Amino acid sequence: MSNTPVATGAPRELIDPLTTRAAHSDFAVRLRANSEYVVIPLLALIIAAGLFAVFLMAIGKSPVDFVSYVWRGGFGTAFSFQNTLQRSAPLILTALAVAIPARIGLIMIGGEGALVLGGFAAGALAIPMIGHAPPMVALVLMALFAMIVGGFWVGFSGFLRYARGVNETISSLLLTYIGIAIMNFFVEGALRDLSNPNKPSTMPIGDAYMVGKIPGTQVHWGFAFGLALCVALYFLMARTTFGFAARVTGGNFRAALAQGLPVGRLIVACSAIAGACAGLAGFFEVAAIQGRANASLAAGYGFTGILVSFLARHNPLVIPPVAILLGGLVASGGLIQRRMELPDATVLVLQGFIFVVLLTSETLYGRFAIFRSTKERDRT
């Protein structure tokens, strides 16, 4: 990831300090430079949509119908839009679990495991507290515990990376399966609620202990926390010394070491933050949706989060709109199945097109003169 320009334009500052100084002095030039990061992804989306339209026509379906159903099923009514927001809530958090390590140069894809274990930890911690602790206290403790467990899980991958040189992508993926197995072991064994004979789950936490909806909506609080975390983590990564150190490490960890930056601690911290985000997503799955921990926690949110983060170019502020876009596609997937009699994989085909075209579009950055300042153009 080190040679990819990030949305803040940081690497360019490093390459070309002169332009940067000029850009900072001139808002219009800065806007022009940054608009590249908006225009190219939009262009990619349009091309992906065009390809998908051809695909639809090839199988004899109308792209126009498709668009109108996506609109209607994902955005067009109050119900649909809230459906979309609710579906995007776990994706925002699991995308953060990919985006933060990406800033320090790690490709962590273990969000699913941290989500499952975090959710399980929250569900397990709830058992002794039901009926004893006040709901607010119980929920806060559950959320913290979920974040600690999730943070430990991904943090461990980060530790292995730094201390033992283990590839973090592989280790975090494999730890995901171990995490799911641990959850299943307890849910089907020691912590199983025996009154629920056919679907192994922990004890239900009960309505009084459930996280409610954001007032006036059908969307649970996980969405709001996701948004807040996106903003907070954006500031952490873009505006603090910690974030700066992390980005330097991501750019060139040898240079970071030479500078005396605590690379090991930075790597583990970024990984742990990532795991905490995914663990929090697991907490909301248990406390806002399922009401208990069971195998349904492993619903693939952690994996979809990888897609969201890559589409958002690992920028926390871009994650929510991307997650909402994907949430809307998934939310409308049902309506598309029902009305157009298309298989549910249709939406996956569209997601695939978007992903491939967006990744391809990475090569376009810096190739359009229009995004560069006149001075820069003169020099090249």
Q: DSSP state, 300?
A: S
Residue among 151 and 282 whose Cβ is closer to other proteins: 282
CB of 310 to other proteins, least distance (A): 22
| Nearest CA among 52, 89, 113 for reference residue 323 | 89
**Minimum distance of other proteins from residue 336's CB (angstroms):** 10
Q: Are 358 and 40 in contact (CB under 8 A)?
A: no
**HSE value, Cβ hemisphere, 13 Å, CA-based, for 13:** 14
- Other CB atoms within 10 A of residue 134 CB: 11
**Which one, 150 or 333, has the nearer CB to other proteins?**
333
Minimal CA–CA distance to 162: which of 261, 231, 236?
Answer: 261
Q: Which is nearer to other proteins, 7 or 331 (CB)?
A: 331
Q: Which residues of the chain form contacts with other proteins (CB under 8 A)?
A: 57, 60, 62-65, 67-69, 71-73, 76-80, 83, 86-87, 196-199, 204, 285, 289-291, 294, 296, 299-300, 330-331, 334-335, 337-339, 343-344
**CA 191, 197, 200: angle at the middle one, nearest 5?**
45
The DSSP output letter for 201 is B
- Which is closer to other proteins, CB of 81 or CB of 234? 81
CB of 210 to other proteins, least distance (A): 9
Alpha carbon distances (Å) from 339 to 61, 334, 346: 11, 9, 13
Instruction: Report the nearest approach of other proteins to the CB of residue 146 (Å).
Output: 17
CB of 337 to other proteins, least distance (A): 5
63/321 with CB nearer other proteins: 63
Nearest to other proteins of 16, 65 (CB atom): 65
- Nearest approach, Cβ of residue 298 and other proteins (Å): 9
